[in-house]
Amino acid sequence: MSTSADAYPGQRLGLPATGKGSVARLPRRILGLAIDWTAAVVISIAFFDYDPLATLAVFAAIHILFVPTMGGSPGHRIAGMRLQLEGGGWTGVWRPIVRTLLLVLLIPAVVWDPDQRGLHDRAARTILVRA
């Protein structure tokens, strides 16, 4: 049994320390978020005269539509990540909705557990891993 000193994010969930299937680290997450947010802003400018609430709604729609169909948002996929259930596999439809609603509240996304999962991922029982 390992101690917390030699543990790595995702070890408790049976994920590898590095490479495919390991917990996606902060730089990838920031890149994915930046890509998704930029897309939402561009769509908001084009169709909603850059309304901040429309931007947030577009961002949420991107996640709700693409996570169950592509395994992650466009930003996740471009940054080399995918969203899966804790034990692996497809997230289904309702989990991305719950995760996204909590994500747009921001607070759950910045409070992490030792496996680097935000509260939004813990509530949905999902984890963002390297693809």
Work out the percent of the chain whose per-residue pLDDT is above 90. 91
**Domain assignment of residue 10, yes or no:** no
Give the mean pLDDT of the chain. Answer: 94
**Domain assignment of residue 5, yes or no:** no
22 contacts 127 by C-beta, under 8 angstroms: no
**Residues listed for the chain:** 131
**Domain assignment of residue 77, yes or no:** yes
**Domain assignment of residue 104, yes or no:** yes
Q: What is the pLDDT of residue 109?
A: 87
**Domain assignment of residue 8, yes or no:** no
* pLDDT tens for each residue of 46-99: 999 999 999 999 999 999 999 999 999 999 999 999 999 999 999 999 999 999
**Domain assignment of residue 78, yes or no:** yes
**Domain assignment of residue 1, yes or no:** no
Both tokens of 33, joined, read 């978020």
**Domain assignment of residue 95, yes or no:** yes
Across the range 120-124, mean pLDDT stands at 95
97 contacts 47 by C-beta, under 8 angstroms: no
* Measured distance CA(25)–CA(45) in Å, rounded: 30
Number of domains making up the chain: 1
Give me the domain span that covers residue 52: 20-130
